């Protein structure tokens, strides 16, 4: 009977893992906030996360150029007001290598890929007569680009089935993309046949600092979690170009080059996870993270050797 329960639980856990791949939520995976390897032991893992978060952007900078029949006619520049970028969706796939420095101290490195998507829900407001960076409805569909991360886990306390520890990890990723098309009506240009192109580059750094317990429920199942801080930093650069012909046939256009620093304060949150030994050397994790600006569902499959 006990063996049957274990089989049923493993099947249910596997179903949850694959079902969760379709859910768009998440931050970087954390796993148990304690060391998990013996001294000199290695582990290799595959991880997946999908993010939805809101980003606060600092006062930005913009340069706007106007053209008539291909010739530069006007140049203006100035600051952009602070802007909140809502619902940044990000997908990451990681390969993770960990090493046990001591029985109570692990270090790890991640290599992977990331992509980002978001919509601009409102115009970027400008000052000093530099107005309306682009019309509403612009989208950013990022390409899949390189990502890297590293971190460490330490166990502070151990007693029977309970461990207490801490985690620190940092990751960096980049994504660039372009949106282009024809506008049904003129935006900043009074005329017909208006078209646009909008390219955006995003650099994003994320840091997690977590403390918490890991408790062994059975021989092959443990639960973990605790409070954590999530820090976000980075930069967004973009270029918007629009052109069209007036009713008299004059070709007019403008380009806007802008940049923002991501000004995201540290967010306090909590997370909870479950880890199960699939075989003697293979384990699987699923965890949920939450802060006031983001939610997370993270998955991990690890082989120790």
| pLDDT given at position 151 | 96
Q: Convert 64-81 to b/e letters by CB count within 10 Å (16 or more is b).
A: bbbbeeeeeeeebeeebe
DSSP helix/strand/coil, 58: coil
Instruction: List domains and CATH numbers for the chain.
Output: 24-304 (2.40.128)
pLDDT in tens, 191-230: 445 777 888 888 889 899 999 999 999 989 999 999 999 8
DSSP helix/strand/coil, 79: strand
| pLDDT given at position 125 | 53
| pLDDT given at position 159 | 92
Those residues with Cβ within 8 angstroms of residue 206's Cβ, 6 or more apart along the chain or in another chain: 27, 28, 170, 171, 230, 231, 232
Residues belonging to the chain: 305
DSSP 25: B
| Cβ-contact 240, 200 below 8 angstroms | no
| pLDDT given at position 175 | 83
What is the Cα Rg of the chain in Å? 24
- The residues with which 243 forms a beta bridge, in sequence order, are 195, 253
pTM for this prediction:
0.78
Sign of the Cα torsion 241, 246, 249, 250 reads negative
**Other C-beta atoms within 10 Å of 265: how many?**
8
| pLDDT given at position 265 | 64
| pLDDT given at position 14 | 44
Report, as ranges of residue numbers, the positions in the chain whose pLDDT lies below 70.
Answer: 1-26, 120-139, 182-193, 264-266
Sign of the Cα torsion 7, 11, 17, 23 reads negative
DSSP helix/strand/coil, 1: coil
DSSP 9: H
| Cβ-contact 120, 138 below 8 angstroms | yes
């Amino acid at each position: 009977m006990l063996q049957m329960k274990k089989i049923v639980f493993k099947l249910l856990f596997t179903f949850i893992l694959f079902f969760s791949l379709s859910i768009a939520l998440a931050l970087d995976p954390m796993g148990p906030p304690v060391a998990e390897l013996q001294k000199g032991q290695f582990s290799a893992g595959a991880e997946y996360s999908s993010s939805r978060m809101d980003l606060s952007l600092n006062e930005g900078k913009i340069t706007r150029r106007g053209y008539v029949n291909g010739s530069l006619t006007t140049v203006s520049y100035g600051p952009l007001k602070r802007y909140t970028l809502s619902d940044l969706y990000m997908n990451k796939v990681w390969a993770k290598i960990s090493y046990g420095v001591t029985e109570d101290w692990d270090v790890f490195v991640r290599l992977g890929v990331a992509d980002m998507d978001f919509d601009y829900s409102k115009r970027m407001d400008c000052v000093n007569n530099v107005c309306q960076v682009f019309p509403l409805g612009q989208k950013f569909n990022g390409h899949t680009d390189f990502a890297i991360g590293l971190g460490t886990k330490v166990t502070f306390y151990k007693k029977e089935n309970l461990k207490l520890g801490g985690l620190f990890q940092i990751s960096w990723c980049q994504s660039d993309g372009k949106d282009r098309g024809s506008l049904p009506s003129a935006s900043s240009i009074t005329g017909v046949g208006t078209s646009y192109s909008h390219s955006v580059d995003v650099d994003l750094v994320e840091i997690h600092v977590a403390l918490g317990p890991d408790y062994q429920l059975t021989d092959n199942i443990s639960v973990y979690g605790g409070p954590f801080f999530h820090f976000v930093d980075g930069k967004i650069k973009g270029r918007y170009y629009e052109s069209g012909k007036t009713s008299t046939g004059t070709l007019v256009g403008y380009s806007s080059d802008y940049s923002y620093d991501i000004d995201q304060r540290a967010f306090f949150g909590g997370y909870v996870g479950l880890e199960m030994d699939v075989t003697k050397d293979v384990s699987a994790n699923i965890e949920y993270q939450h802060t006031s600006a983001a939610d997370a569902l993270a998955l991990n499959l690890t082989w120790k050797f």
